[in-house]
């Protein structure tokens, strides 16, 4: 049971825009801790896509964007490409557990 | 370019202990904290703990009930994960990852390639 809640799966056609939600509570996202997003491609290590809610590391296309409001955050992917098919995880910090925490992951399928 | 190279796959029997290494290169070893994160088959990512390579201070998730420890060797720029009393539920891919600081605002910016561990009788 993951601390942060994500939809198990989302899908979209090439070129479309999808969003992945990440819902938390007052002990993490709502406590103003940042939300970060990672992409896991099959057989590869996780890669940070968005850090501190809405910032992209160099090399990450601007098709990826993040936002946060209240106790939730979202990752948006526009102009979907086949190579975006992967698992996506949100991450924050839980002050009641003193743990860094992840969402359960969302599998993105490009139709 | 920061690199984290982990030790190879392991197969363990229930009750045994595990030691996984993570060797850092291309940066000053003591400048980044190192975390361990695991992913069980079909499951999400799970944070296990953090070590400060500078002084060796650690913090672990309570969910592992004292079975986990992390150490570092500054002469070889290597961090070790130790997990004892292994059970089948510990079967997972284990990753080391760096963070710039140890605050709750930090993220994991560089990752090792992962070490698959199977616990089976």
Q: Give the DSSP per-residue string, B57-117.
A: -EEE-GGGTT-EEEEEETTTTEEEEEE-S--GGG-EEEEEEEES-SSTT----EE---EEE
Report how far residue B67's alpha carbon sits from residue B112's, in angstroms, rounded to the nearest whole number: 22
- Distance between first and last Cα of chain B: 40
Q: What is the pLDDT of residue A33?
A: 93
Q: What is the pLDDT of residue B80?
A: 98
Q: What is the pLDDT of residue A60?
A: 96
Tell whether the model's pLDDT for residue B16 goes beyond 80.
yes
Nearest to A100 among B47, B109, B113 (CB): B47
Q: Give the whole-number percent of chain B exceeding pLDDT 70.
A: 100
Closest chain A residue to B112, measured at CA: A45
When the pLDDT of each residue in chain A is averaged and rounded to a whole number, the result is 95
Q: Does B108 contact A at CB distance below 8 Å?
A: yes
CB contact under 8 A, A46 and B95: yes
Q: What is the pLDDT of residue B62?
A: 93
Position B81 confidence tier, pLDDT thresholds 50, 70, 90: very high
Q: Give the whole-number percent of chain A exceeding pLDDT 70.
A: 100
Position A1 confidence tier, pLDDT thresholds 50, 70, 90: confident
Q: Give the whole-number percent of chain B exceeding pLDDT 90.
A: 95
Residue A93 with chain B: CB contacts under 8 Å: 103-106
- B86 to chain A nearest CA, in Å? 20
Position B104 confidence tier, pLDDT thresholds 50, 70, 90: confident
Label the pairing between strands A99-102 and B110-111.
unpaired
pLDDT (tens digit per residue) in A19-73: 999 999 888 888 889 999 999 998 899 999 999 999 999 999 999 999 999 999 9
Nearest to A95 among B35, B97, B104 (CB): B104
Tokens 């939600």 sit at which residue? A21
DSSP string covering A43-88: TS--EEEEBTTTBPPTTS-TTEEEEEETTEEEEEE-S--GGG-EEE
Tell whether the model's pLDDT for residue B60 goes beyond 90.
yes
Look at residue B31 and give its three-state secondary structure: helix
Q: Does B10 contact A at CB distance below 8 Å?
A: no
- Asked if residue A87 lies in contact with residue B43, where contact means CB atoms within 8 angstroms, the answer is no
Tell whether the model's pLDDT for residue A101 goes beyond 80.
yes
Tell whether the model's pLDDT for residue A107 goes beyond 90.
yes
């Amino acid at each position: 049971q993951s601390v942060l809640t994500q939809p198990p799966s989302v899908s979209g056609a090439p070129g479309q825009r999808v969003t992945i939600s990440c819902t938390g509570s007052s002990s993490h996202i709502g406590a103003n801790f940042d939300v970060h997003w990672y992409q896991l491609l099959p057989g590869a290590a996780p890669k940070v896509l968005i850090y501190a809610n809405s910032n992209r590391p160099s090399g990450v296309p601007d098709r990826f964007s993040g936002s946060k409001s209240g106790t939730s955050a979202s990752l948006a992917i526009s102009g979907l490409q086949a190579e975006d098919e992967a698992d996506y995880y949100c991450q924050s910090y839980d002050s009641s557990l003193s743990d860094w925490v992840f969402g359960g992951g969302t599998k993105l399928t490009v139709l | 370019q920061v690199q984290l190279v982990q030790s190879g796959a392991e197969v363990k029997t229930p009750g045994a202990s595990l030691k996984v290494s993570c060797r850092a290169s291309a940066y000053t070893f003591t400048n980044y904290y190192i975390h361990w994160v695991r992913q069980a088959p079909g499951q999400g990512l799970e944070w296990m703990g953090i070590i400060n390579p500078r002084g060796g201070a650690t913090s672990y998730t309570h969910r592992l009930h004292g079975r986990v420890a992390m150490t570092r060797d500054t002469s070889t720029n290597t961090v070790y994960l130790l997990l004892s009393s292994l059970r089948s539920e510990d079967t997972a891919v284990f990753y080391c990852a760096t963070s710039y600081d140890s605050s709750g605002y930090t993220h994991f910016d560089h990752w090792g390639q992962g070490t698959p561990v199977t616990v089976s009788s």
